[in-house]
Copies of this chain bind each other. A is one copy, B any other.
Amino acid sequence: MSLRHVILTALAESPASGYDIAKSFEQTMRFYWSAKHQQVYRDIKALAVEGLVEAVHVAQTHRPDKVIYRLTDKGRSELRSWVATAVEPRINSEFLVKLLAASAFGTLVARDLLRQQRTIHAARLALYQDIEQNLRAHANTVAMPLAEHMRVATLRRGLRGEKDWIDWIDESLKLIADIDGTACQLAPLPQPA
């Protein structure tokens, strides 16, 4: 039931086609959701059948025709009641599992994995900082509607998260270095060939 509500949320802001929504998963929504176009088309049809959105077919001359969807009152009230309660966030972290698995193969394996992960988070952080720069340039903080403020807040959430991961990785790398430092002194010297 999740993507359904993501779609409703997108349509709450303004009517859009399946294509538009699918695309926004690579742009404005990328900080908090991703989905494939196939899934979007499938689910938005289901929403139409249930009467939560309604479709308007728009014929175009120099492009394929498209179907614009907008929230119905039913859709809006569904969204309203969905929004009322927070839920326990999932914590399934493939990375943390990998780290523990890596530990079974020694400090070097764990260290490499942490370093790789660091580059991933560093890249994301750089991207988010870039976007923040652009926002700052164009934002007129005073008269911004709430939704805009919250959109910026989601970006801030992303920034914070990435920074925090990087800090934790550095902390963990240092821990491993300490272990390795003492371990190396005890390790057998390499055998001459």
A positions within 8 Å CB-CB of B: 2, 5-6, 8-9, 12-13, 30-34, 79-80, 82-107, 109-110, 112-113, 116-117, 120, 146-147, 149-151, 153-154, 156-158, 160-161, 164, 167-168, 171-172, 175-176, 179
Of all chain B residues, which has the CB nearest A118?
B86
Quickly give the copy total for this chain.
2
Interface residues of chain A: helix, strand, loop or mixed (majority) = helix
A175 neighbours in B (Cβ, 8 Å): 149, 153
What 10 A-B pairs have minimum CB-CB distances, sorted nearest first? A32-B96, A86-B116, A9-B101, A103-B150, A103-B147, A32-B93, A86-B117, A12-B104, A83-B102, A164-B164
A167 neighbours in B (Cβ, 8 Å): 160
Sample of 10 more A-B contacts, CB < 8 Å, known A12-B101, A156-B168: A9-B97, A32-B97, A34-B92, A83-B98, A84-B113, A86-B116, A100-B154, A103-B150, A146-B176, A150-B172
Out of B5, B85, B95, which one reaches A89, CB within 8 Å? B95
Contact call B103/A146, Cβ cutoff below 8 A: yes
State A91–B31 Cα separation when bound (angstroms).
Answer: 7
Q: Known contacts A99-B153, A167-B160; decide if A105 and B86 are in contact (CB<8 Å).
A: no
